[in-house]
Amino acid sequence: MTSTESATRADALAAGERFAALEDSTDHVELAHDILAWAAATYGERLIVASNMQDAVLVKLGAEARPGVDVLFLETGYHFAETLGTRDAVAQVYGVNIVEAHPELTVAEQDERFGKDLFASDPGACCTMRKVEPLKKTLALYDAWVTGVRRVEAPTRANTPLVTWDEKHGLAKVNPIAHWSDEQMDAYIADHAVLVNPLVGEGYPSIGCRPCTAKPAPGADPRSGRWAGFTKTECGLHG
């Protein structure tokens, strides 16, 4: 790590501590705005907001902090049509710049090289090639990325900090809504008429690639519909 990277890392971790100290005394929406205002001022055009297009909460907040902000979308080749439609609507409504990250291989090329429907036999390998590697290449062009990871989504996310240093990718990682509850998310969406992927209303509370996303059983964990039948619970983007 260079001296510049070391200083950037220290700044990100210090910011994380400052914002963490405000969690109990600051309105959750106000705190998210403050975090993103800091990120926009600190990183400028080297900041990118990641979105899986389940909803546009993070995109809306990011665009308010930095109009025209870059928004990262992992084009895996396996998305629901509704997700692609939401992506297009988000670009128009919020005036952001969609940055698509594509895998090295097309779906057809992957099928030819590794066997048809790799997601069914080795979903980890499929996620690595179609999500993790494209993400890594894209993030190399930025100094910070903003994610919509929230602590209530899964036990693996329970300790997500508001701002941290992403050791894996070598840049700051900003999680401005990490502390939001499901009820707070729903209220914000309703109060601000935020765009939402229509699949959410059809019973998909956690949306990923079409072949690896199913509707959870009533009362089940919202993420239980992801990679059903496998022990896999994360695609590898956040760990």
Residues involved in catalysis: 235
**CB of 116 within 8 A of CB of 127?**
no
Quick check: helix, strand or coil at residue 71?
Answer: strand
CB-based contacts of 120, cutoff 8 Å, min separation 6: 211
**CB of 198 within 8 A of CB of 186?**
no
Hey, what's the torsion of the CAs at 178, 165, 61, 213, to 10 degrees?
-60
DSSP state of 131: I
**CB of 44 within 8 A of CB of 21?**
no
